[in-house]
Amino acid sequence: MNSKKRGKLVLCTGSSGVGKGTIIAELLKRDPSIRLSVSNTTRAPREGEIDGVHYNFVTREQFEDLIRKDGFLEYAEYCDNYYGTPKKQVNDMLNEGYNVFLEIEVKGGLQIMEKYPDILSIFVLPPSMESLERRLRRRGTEKEEMIQKRLCEAEKEIGYKDRYKYNVVNGDLDAAVNEILDILHNEVSNK
């Protein structure tokens, strides 16, 4: 993309299991101006996850080394693992004119809103806590203890939803994707 206009930074937060990954995959298919930032994490890959595509899977030593080098836009510990957004990759994509989505949890989200007050912030909500629990179980990627931990984290995270400019409920995938595309296009044209 050759556009000189800097792209929009978009923060997308939502509890584990809310379907953010599916929403973002759909957004990437439907709008070529969108790019997803690939985070670094110390979590082990789930089955089917590819290094460099879903995450950059790194050791705690490698992660802490990049913290010392000031290489993260933000980072946080979530359920015993580090997750962070590499600075350079995001800046390069924004300079190329792409609208860059950060799919990150609340602690990192709050850090980034402080640093970039004009970030477009979206919180994705489940239709209910029961539906969230069902989705986490159906995914089958976490053990019971981790499911409980993630549900507990989800309750806490939802308490911050009003800090985000937009709240989108993911009841119907297509409706949620269309809503986010409308929000993005409105914000970009008002820039």
Residue in this structure with the two tokens 């050791």, named with its chain if needed: 59
Total number of residues that touch ligand 5GP (CB under 6 A): 15
* Residue 170 touches ligand 5GP, criterion: CB under 6 A: no
Q: Report whether 142 contacts 150 (CB < 8 A).
A: yes
**How far is it, in rounded angstroms, from Cα 8 to Cα 86?**
17
* Residue 154 touches ligand 5GP, criterion: CB under 6 A: no
**Residue 75: count of CB within 10 angstroms of its CB:** 23
* Closest to ligand 5GP by CB, 104 or 177: 104
Q: Which two tokens stand for residue 134?
A: 């069902």
* Residue 58 touches ligand 5GP, criterion: CB under 6 A: no
**How far is it, in rounded angstroms, from Cα 189 to Cα 169?**
24
**How far is it, in rounded angstroms, from Cα 101 to Cα 168?**
15
Q: Are strands 40-41 and 56-57 parallel, antiparallel or unpaired?
A: parallel
Q: Which part of the chain contacts ligand 5GP (CB under 6 A), choosing from 24-32, 63-71, 82-90, 164-172?
A: 82-90
* Residue 63 touches ligand 5GP, criterion: CB under 6 A: no
**In the complex, what is the shortest distance from the CB of residue 81 to ligand 5GP, in angstroms, rounded to a whole number?**
7
* Closest to ligand 5GP by CB, 85 or 121: 85
Give contact residues for ligand 5GP (rule: CB under 6 A).
Answer: 16, 39, 43, 74-76, 78, 83-85, 103-105, 107-108
